[in-house]
């Protein structure tokens, strides 16, 4: 950082305006990508999933809460873990405030994990979250949406994550899936993203991308090695 260029205000404005043109191109390209995403074909959901949550047992249809669209954040929390994934928690710290806004646009939001609901509740209280979080224990939901993997699939190298063979022997990984419920109650899977695909949902990362050091993750053992649960920072 000590060798970074320093120029006059006029020269800075000239460089900034050149970058602005690229930023506008990126924004327009993103708008087009979002349009294409919305035009993807859908897959009907026929399997009867039942989740454990704050209202007891709830079906996938009930998670829509009377709305036509549903976002599911696949939160990494395996049944044997005592705490949720610190990286997913980094994302989840962004969730509380957006839920009411999403509801105004006909969208419900939930997080779903494989851990038993009692563990989710305890961790939720610790972190001070209020978004709806449910357990998929006893269902194939996480496996069907390619965020959890059986020991047999891992051993046989049959696990698929982010639409490609899984290279890491992980039982649980993060993702986002979206669903639509039509007027007749039919359910449809419309989209899923994984890996870096969930990156844009992290507000803190988007802010870090604006500052001089950026995410400042070069030289770490892996990009998010610095992240902790927010009550563990010192």
- 46-92, pLDDT tens digit by residue? 999 999 999 999 999 999 999 999 999 999 999 999 999 999 999 99
12 CB neighbour count, 10 Å cutoff: 12
Residue 53 neighbours by CB under 8 Å, 6+ apart: 110, 117, 132, 133, 134, 135
- 203-227, pLDDT tens digit by residue? 999 999 999 999 999 999 999 999 9
Look at residue 2 in the predicted model and tell me its pLDDT.
77
- 99-131, pLDDT tens digit by residue? 999 999 999 999 999 999 999 999 999 999 999
Percent of the chain whose pLDDT exceeds 90: 96
Q: How confident is the model at residue 3 (pLDDT cuts 50, 70, 90)?
A: confident
DSSP labels, 151-183: HHHHHTT--EETTEE--S--SB--EEEEEEE-T
Residue-range domains of the chain with CATH: 43-203 (3.40.30.10)
What is the pTM assigned to this prediction?
A: 0.95
Look at residue 167 in the predicted model and tell me its pLDDT.
87
Look at residue 180 in the predicted model and tell me its pLDDT.
98
- 14-59, pLDDT tens digit by residue? 999 999 999 999 999 999 999 999 999 999 999 999 999 999 999 9
Look at residue 88 in the predicted model and tell me its pLDDT.
98
Taking all residues of the chain, what is their mean pLDDT, rounded to a whole number? 96
Compute the CA torsion angle 188, 53, 135, 79 (nearest 10 deg): 180
């Amino acid at each position: 950082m000590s060798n970074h260029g320093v120029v006059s205000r006029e020269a800075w404005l000239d460089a900034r305006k050149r970058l602005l043109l690229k930023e506008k191109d990126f924004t327009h390209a993103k708008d087009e990508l979002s349009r294409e995403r919305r035009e993807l074909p859908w897959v009907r959901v026929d399997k009867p999933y039942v989740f454990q949550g704050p209202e007891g047992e709830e079906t996938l249809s009930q998670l829509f809460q009377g709305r036509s669209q549903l976002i599911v954040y696949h939160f990494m929390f395996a049944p044997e873990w005592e705490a949720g994934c610190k990286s997913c928690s980094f994302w989840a710290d962004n969730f509380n405030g957006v839920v009411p806004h999403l509801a105004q646009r006909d969208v419900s939001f939930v997080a779903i994990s494989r851990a038993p609901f009692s563990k989710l509740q305890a961790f939720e209280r610790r972190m001070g979250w209020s978004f709806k979080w449910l357990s998929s224990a006893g269902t194939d939901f996480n496996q069907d949406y390619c965020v959890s993997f059986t020991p047999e699939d891992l051993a046989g190298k049959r696990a698929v994550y982010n639409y490609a063979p899984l290279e890491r022997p992980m039982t649980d990984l993060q993702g986002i899936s979206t669903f639509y419920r039509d007027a007749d109650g039919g359910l449809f899977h419309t989209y899923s993203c994984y890996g870096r695909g969930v990156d844009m949902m992290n507000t803190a990362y988007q802010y870090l991308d604006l500052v001089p050091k950026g995410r400042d993750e070069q030289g770490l053992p892996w990009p998010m090695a610095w992240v902790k649960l927010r009550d563990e920072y010192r």
